[in-house]
Chain A
C-alpha cells in the first residue's frame, strides 16, 4: 500500500533547514511519499541530497525527488502580475515538491509542467 503525505506550505516553510530535512527524511524512511506545497530552493535540495547520502544503508537506498513550478505561461499579463504579487506578499515559492523513497518510487518522470511518478511493485522492493 502506498502512503502519500501532504505537507502544506504554512507547516513547512517556517521550519529551519535542518528541521525541513529531518521532516522529509523521517517520512521518506517510513516509506511515505511526501508532497510539499512549494518548492525547495537549489541549496536546500543539495543539502537534502547530502543528508540522504549520509544516511544510505542496507535498507535505505536514497530518494527520488522532483519539483515543479506552476506554469504561468498560459495566463494573461494581468493574471501573471496578480499571481506574482500574491506569492510575493505571502512570501511563497509557488510550485510543488515530491519526495519518495527510492525503494518505493522507481522514477519520477518530469517535463517542465508535468510529473509522472512510477512506483516499484512490492515484490521488486
Chain B
C-alpha cells in the first residue's frame, strides 16, 4: 500500500462515489448547523419536499446573533430579525428531528465549542458546518471545513458533499515554545508567514513537538484559524491527549465500541514517507507573542516590533497596507506596545474555551482594567459554569470585566456587542477585517493572555512583562 497522509486516510474512508474526472461524493459524519446560514437551506428542503437524510448526525445550536446578556430566552429581548432567525432554527430543528441545544440549555454555546464538548466531534470523522471556522474540529484529526448555505442544503438532503481532493501541506512547529507564547501565537505566526492565500487549495496538517505539547484547547485554536490562512481544513493527528479528551463525553463511543474506535483512531497519522505538496517549518523558539496591526489576519508582528511602512511590501499589498493603516489610524514606525486600547474582548470559537479563560485570569488576578470596557464571553454555558466553579468569573468581575453568557458575540458583532467607529479593541477572535466588530471598529488580534495584559495597561502589551 502506498504511504498516505492523515488527510488521505480520512478522505479515502469517506468517498461514497467517484466520477471519472475525480469529482467525489464525500460522506459527512457530522453536520453542525447554526441560525444564520441555515434558514434558506431548510426552506429549500421544504420547497422541494425533501427531508433531512441523517437527522441523528445533524446538530443545531443558535450562537451567532444571540444576545449574551440575561433574559435572552425571551425573544422580546432580541432584535426582531435575530429573534426570527432563532425561532426559525427552533422550528427547523423540531420539524426535521435534528439534535438541538436551544438558548435556554446550559449546553448552548458556539457551535465549534459545543461539538467537541458534547463528543459529537471524533477522530477520523468528516465534519461540516455553514461556518468557515469549522476548521476547529481538525484538532481531533477530523476532516472539518466550512460550507455555504447551498452546500448545507446539499448535506441535509444527501449527507454528502460534492468535492475534489485538496493538496497536502505540512506545517511543522519544531521544539518548544518560549514562556508567554501560546497556540494563538503559533497560528497567527503561521498566517503571517504564509499569507491569507498561502493555504488555498490545501489541507494543512500541523505537526511537530510544539503542536504535540499543546492541550486539545490549544490545538483547536491552531486549527480554527487554518481558514484564515486560506486552507480548506487544518488537521492534527489524534494521540493520547485526544483520546483522553474524548473519553466519557456524552456522545463519545462507550464499551466495546470505544475499543473498536480507539483501534481505528490509532491508525490515523501520516505515514513516514507520505507525499507533501508543500512543507513549512517554523522553530517553536522563534515564535514570539504577536498582535495584528492591520485589517488582514496576515498582518502579524511580534509585540516588540513597530507598525510597518506600506513601502516595505510589494505588489497589491502596498495599497492594501496603506488602506489598512488609514482604517486603523496608525502611523508607520510607532512601537506596537504604545498603541492605546479602548476595549478588550475575550471569547469566540478561537479562544473561548476554559484554558483561554484560565490564561487571561492568571494575568488579571488582583488587577483592574485600564480600558473603557472589557468583556469575557465564554464559548459555551458549560465553559461558563466551569469558570465560575474555578473562581475565574470572580477574577474577571473584580478586574472590571463584564461576565457574559455564551455566544459568538463581538467576534462578528451580529448581536448587540459591537464596536463604535474608531473604537480600538484587543480581541482574542479570528478576524480583523474592516467593520468586522462594528463599522469603523479597529481590531487587534492576539492571545487571551495578551488581551488580558492589554486590559490592565490600557495599551498593547508584551505579556511577558507581567508574568
A binds B: no
